Amino acid sequence: MRVNNPESLSREDIRHLQLERLQMTLNRAYFNVDFYRERMDGLGKLPEDVASFEDLRRFPFTTSADLAAHYPYGLFAEPLSSIVRLKMTAGAHGAPIVVGFTRRDVHRWQSLVTRLFERQGLTAKDIVQVAFNYSLFSGAFTFNHAAEAIGATLAPSATVSATLQLRIMKDFRSTVLTTTPAFALHIADTLEKGPWRRSDFGLRMILTGPDPLPEVTRERLQSVLEVPVYSLYGVTEMVEPGLAGECPVRDGLHLAEDHFLAEVVHPATGEPVPAGQEGELVLTTLTTEAYPLIRYRTGDITVLREAPCACGSSLARMTPVLRRRDHRVSVRGIPFYPEQVESLLKGLDPALTDFRLLIHTHYGMGEHLDVLVCRRSEAPFPEGSRSQYLEHLRSHLRRTLGLGARVTLTTEDNLPCEGLLHRTVFRNLQSP
């Protein structure tokens, strides 16, 4: 089925399209990816045996551990000669994962972001300021390409300071700011404390991603910058951004159902949850060439709704991510797992007995990280003096996470335990 405007399809037509494209994905995975062929053979199933969504639910989930176990190219469905882009990410314990894209994949993801931009009202008259760390979020390049495809003026400002971001915004008359929610907060704080007036700027909207946008963060940004703030959603192992995004109604993020099949399952049992109830988002790619994924567990907890949106779109909507199934956290827009920190600390100091990650939040976003460590008092420091030891830990954490942290040596009696989530404690820096 050829689709020009998936937003106008009926739910029945969307399901028909998804089943048609699901067959293509299953065939691609079966004939080109040993991992999936072995799974299907183990079930005694061929791709053509999947005639319904219920049939698909009999397939086991794909997890980030599966992706890491087949590093680097074990899950590729295309030869390297057809791959034009590679992206590396990490699983829960820091194990590397490599995702590949063909030329058509890259063009497809660009078109998805273009579609999101157009849904939010971007036009050729806009000046789009892209303020992402391109080394940490490669999806920022897709923002660039989508803005140019629309004909908008692109102003990539990357990771320059918030003060310089505001100067660029003022001098260039930027109308759209795209950045992480955490950096948008920093820009808002800088604007509020600085010499600028809101009337100095021509800004008319903010687009945030790839991190979830808490409502308290949205309210803070809209209060200071006086423009609507929209959230985009993506999955690192598939495409980010572009998988889903808000429309001007801002009543959920519209999923690109013509390219992804979404399920919501109970995080513990893996069984489908009743419509309208929260659960873990599970995705199957429908048009991906290089890296097809079948029933991939994203770890994101959300609610899926299929009722038509007031904007007129029939595409299903997901709520902004409510929380994670696993322990992944984010500080200043940089995601990481406590398990990564644990592995690093124990590797550097065998005498370490316990630790805590103390994340200070600012309007719902991780702002600062303290690492509290305990060790056997009789054991000598592996790196000279106490101060040299702490600097040794700090430098390795920065290199591994890409994030600065304050490291403090303490006793187990002084470790905080309130709200503990796998040795992670959250405290408010400032209450909204």
Q: How far is CA 106 from the centre of its chain?
A: 18
Query: Which residues fall within 8 angstroms of residue 190, CB to CB, at 6 or more apart?
Result: 162, 163, 165, 166
pLDDT of residue 431: 47
- Nearest CA-CA partner of 361 in 421, 426, 417: 426
Which domains, ranges and CATH numbers included, belong to the chain? 6-107+234-322 (3.40.50.12780), 123-130+139-232 (3.40.50.980), 329-430 (3.30.300.30)
Helix, strand, or coil here: 385? coil
pLDDT of residue 420: 75
What is the Cα–Cα distance from 80 to 89, expressed in whole angstroms? Answer: 18
pLDDT of residue 229: 97
Give the number of other CB atoms < 10 A from CB of residue 19. 18
Asked if 362 contacts 429 with a C-beta cutoff of 8 angstroms, the reply is yes
- In order of 41, 105, 289, 300, 314, the CA distances from 34 in angstroms are 10, 21, 15, 27, 36
Pairing of strands 176-179, 96-102: unpaired
Residue entry with tokens 């945030």: 208
What is the Cα–Cα distance from 106 to 142, expressed in whole angstroms? Answer: 9
Give the number of other CB atoms < 10 A from CB of residue 334. 18
Asked if 234 contacts 139 with a C-beta cutoff of 8 angstroms, the reply is yes
Q: Could you tell me if residue 151 is left (phi over 0), alpha (psi between -120 and 50 degrees) or otherwise beta?
A: left
pLDDT of residue 239: 84
Series of mean pLDDT values for 10-residue runs along the chain (432 residues):
77 96 97 97 94 94 96 97 92 83 94 94 96 83 92 92 96 96 94 90 94 92 96 90 93 96 96 94 98 97 94 94 90 88 94 94 91 95 92 94 93 86 80 46
